[in-house]
Chains A and B, each alone.
Chain A
């Protein structure tokens, strides 16, 4: 039983990391889209031909999340066995 508590503690921590990432993802996406995109289109600046709000929110946000996810999984995620260890459990 103790072994299982240990695995579930890892799982709980990883679920919290998932929520944290989603919050960062949302704030970045919302902040750049409506922060830079709310002015009149004539005043937009452009990055690589795309409006800056779009580039930062959608392209930049996607790249940021990819890097964050790779980093988080490699550093904080722990390998555990998924099998039922105790045969009593059946």
Chain B
């Protein structure tokens, strides 16, 4: 175990704990509704924190550890692909924008499911939403825990189980006691760590490689394809790379963990600031992080496991204690994704299922106990799953992001801007999205040379429109009846 590397990581975890306790205090002191405080931070996020929590939630382990690893193998083409994420920095907040925030306040929505239930006046829509959030995000979360534990295992040189335990304990403590406010505040710290960490590491890598010119020369001497937009084996077609504009770009607007943040900010000024900060930070972090992966290749040739590129290059080009600080960045990325997923799944249980359907008259005290309890139990369940991840979970995780996007994007976006959209359209669009995504991904990988998320997003759009138009007559008479 390398003390100089482990110590900064340890201090980082301590700081995160401190924020958790501080947030817990403000929940206890607040006079507002407990659920709004715990699951939504009382809708009080400012611009900087909103931008950081959006970026940190989204820039998960897959992009932070996996991304540089693939860039190492594929060269500059993978950086090109990663830059499709710049669009999320402004697109999400501009599209959902003020209208979503205003509507969510009118509906008093605390979760995306609340919003959909009020918009479509339908329990079926709400149940499909809650169930898909629980199933998909639970598996996505477990996969991230495995990543977090593996990172601690590599860096600190301790066994996987102990690493998992350290990771689980640190995340659980601050999420359970601090709720959304702790999640958002720690995300801001974690986002800043990512920002500074990638910058320091990129500069150190360029210096170690003898400058950008030398690095690019070395790359092109090894394999000229590494500096083309087509990948090391010329396998990345323009259609395939462009389809990531959907998967990690514009369709992110449908992800529940992202929409939740779009209802949590306190004012339109905060949103404006978040759009600017978000765009700059997302672009900067994605560019630097993936360039590090590419530039690492001439310095440390022959790394077999992609996930080890980040830790190994940091330990190679930086003094030990700086490496510890920089390696807090991927750790931060994983933590900040996991924490928001944990809270989101917990809110789906407590708010969307327990309070709404089982016990609408539950007392504040009972809801409080339930919230802390469910969050803790979920965390422990994920821990047990991550000890020995079952195959089903790994399979579900593959579908998590694309599946949620195909499920939610149109019911959310068209529900917001198209008044004719109704519950029949929403239900059939959600089912079409999810089923066609799984079928296409299993049986026709990369149809038309694009990522398998593209067609389901198109299908669910068409279905939403057709079914909404086809049922508009029935729907009008139905709602008139209801309002009588």
Task: Give the interface of A toward B (CB within 8 A).
Answer: 4, 7-8, 10-12, 14-15, 17-19, 21-22, 25-26, 29-30, 33-34, 37-38, 40-42, 44, 46, 48-51, 53-54, 57-59, 61-62, 65-66, 69-70, 73, 77-84, 89-90
Contacts of A25 in B (CB 8 A): 86-87
Contacts of A83 in B (CB 8 A): 105
User: Which among A26, A58, A78 is the interface contact of B80 at CB below 8 angstroms?
Assistant: A58
B123 within 8 A of partner (CB): no
CB distance from A80 to the nearest CB of B (A): 5
Contacts of A81 in B (CB 8 A): 268
A62 touches B283 (CB 8 A): yes
B279 within 8 A of partner (CB): yes
Chain A to chain B contacts (Cβ below 8 Å), 22 pairs? A11-B97, A11-B102, A18-B95, A18-B97, A21-B90, A21-B91, A29-B84, A30-B238, A38-B229, A41-B220, A46-B213, A49-B212, A61-B86, A62-B287, A66-B283, A69-B90, A69-B279, A77-B268, A80-B98, A83-B105, A84-B102, A90-B108
B280 within 8 A of partner (CB): yes
User: Which among A17, A30, A66 is the interface contact of B279 at CB below 8 angstroms?
Assistant: A66
Number of interface residues of B (CB under 8 A): 50
Contacts of A15 in B (CB 8 A): 94-95, 97, 99, 417
Q: Which 3 residue pairs across A and B have the least CB separation, nearest first?
A: A18-B94, A49-B212, A11-B99
User: Which among A14, A37, A58, A70 is the interface contact of B276 at CB below 8 angstroms?
Assistant: A70
A62 touches B83 (CB 8 A): yes
B76 within 8 A of partner (CB): yes
Given contacts A46-B216, A54-B80, contact A37 B228 (CB under 8 A): yes
A54 touches B79 (CB 8 A): yes
Segment 97-131 of B: residues with Cβ below 8 Å from A: 97-99, 101-102, 105-106, 108
B2 within 8 A of partner (CB): no
